[in-house]
Amino acid sequence: MARVHNFSAGPSTLPVPVLEQIRDEIVEFRGMGMSLIEASHRSKEYDAIHCETIALIKELLSIPDNYSILLLGGGATLQFGMVPMNFLREDAGCDFINSGAWAVKALKDAKKVGPVTVIWDGESSRYTTLPTPDSLPISSKSSYLHMTSNETIGGIQWHDWPDGKKLPICIDMSSDIMSRPIPVENFALIYAGAQKNLGPAGVTVVIIRDDMLDRCPSNLPEYLSYKTHATGNSLYNTPPVFSIYAMNLVLHWIKKNGGIEAVERANEEKAQVLYDAIDSSDVYYRCPVDPAVRSRMNIVFRLPTEELEAKFLTEATAAGLNGLPGHRSVGGCRASLYNAMPISGVRALAAFMAEFAQANPA
């Protein structure tokens, strides 16, 4: 059996050593006489994995002590609703940066909870660019500002951050968490579904500054309040045990490979290889986004015609390069280069692109 290069946007490729360790441990976990996923989530074996996972996130992202790290269910999508339910005050409203498809979804849920002001809107540019942090009209009167660090579908990513001094910033980092160091102290709340850079689907990481917990309304259903999970160390109910265990192994893998700085260097190199393949193709391949905000995680590109795109995608799949179609809402091609994608996969794609362009002139 040969594994293909999997460029899928999510769920996405995982490190092979992690998959192998799961295979080896899934039936009988480290002398426990059963699988970890058969054991109580109150067992000492699970508790050790749970606490170590939280500690690894804290260590790898250099999270200050005044933040809590929560492991929740419901995907990043549940956070679209939980953030406003916990923090959106009717009298103050919240501010939004509308950067693309994921921001639009978060915005839709926030609007159901209270007033939203879009302080920057990328729709007129078809979500191909982002503002500079300094240019944002941030108002200290608002409950919070919501932003999206990396637009997985549009292929744009923030490379500079607003500082969060004027008002709390809540940020969706689902598709680039753990891909580079981040200034955690700029943010009041960070959330990310696991299935891009951290492991399989099923667990969502929430990093919340402790002063925000005082704002959680007491009349929320228990599961929907951040305070419940912070107080109970994310063991208020049964956590997604398998996903947390797999994430634990991914975090160990990151640490073993040199931590977050090494991951960032590798991601920069991978993105460079692919953007070079696009830019050096004499406009055969085109990346439609503003070069200043190109994503290192999700690289979108077009070919001269849709017919050539269809042929490209078919032949790429046949060559073991999977998951390259762009999102159904935008078409074209997209290569997701998450942490677990090796540089060899990116080089194979770049070589295939050069050969294809040569064999199929526009």
Ligand X SMILES: *Cc1c(COP(=O)(O)O)cnc(C)c1O
- Give contact residues for ligand X (rule: CB under 6 A): 10, 75-77, 102, 148, 152, 172, 174-175, 193, 196
Helix (H, G, I), strand (E, B) or coil at 350: helix
Residue 102 is among the residues annotated as catalytic for this protein: yes
State the DSSP H helix or E strand holding residue 95, giving kind and residue range, or none if neither.
strand 94-98
Instruction: Name the CA dihedral angle for 326, 283, 340, 174, rounded to a multiple of 10 degrees.
Output: -50
Q: How far is the CB of 202 from ligand X (least distance, A)?
A: 9
Nearer to ligand X, 68 or 336 (CB): 336
Q: Which residue number places its CB atom closest to ligand X? A: 75
Q: Are 297 and 150 within 8 A, CB to CB? A: yes
Q: How far is the CB of 298 from ligand X (least distance, A)?
A: 8
Q: Which of 95, 109, 196, 253 is catalytic?
A: 196
145-148 and 116-121 strand pairing: unpaired
Q: Which of 95, 102, 109, 158 is catalytic?
A: 102
Q: Which of 95, 109, 172, 176 is catalytic?
A: 172
Cβ count near 20 (within 10 Å)? 11
Q: How far is the CB of 67 from ligand X (least distance, A)?
A: 20
Q: Which residues of 22-36 are buried (b: 16+ CB within 10 A; e: fewer)?
A: beeeeeebeeeeeeb
Residue 161 is among the residues annotated as catalytic for this protein: no
Q: Bin 283: left if φ > 0, else alpha if -120 < ψ < 50, else beta.
A: left
Joined together, the tokens standing for residue 361 give: 């002139």
The DSSP code sequence of 259-300 is HHHHHHHHHHHHHHHHHHHHHTTTTSSB--S-GGGB-SSEEE
Q: Which of 298, 326, 295, 330 is nearest to 312 (CA)?
A: 326
Q: How far is the CB of 9 from ligand X (least distance, A)?
A: 7
Residue 196 is among the residues annotated as catalytic for this protein: yes
Nearer to ligand X, 172 or 309 (CB): 172
Active-site positions read 102, 172, 196
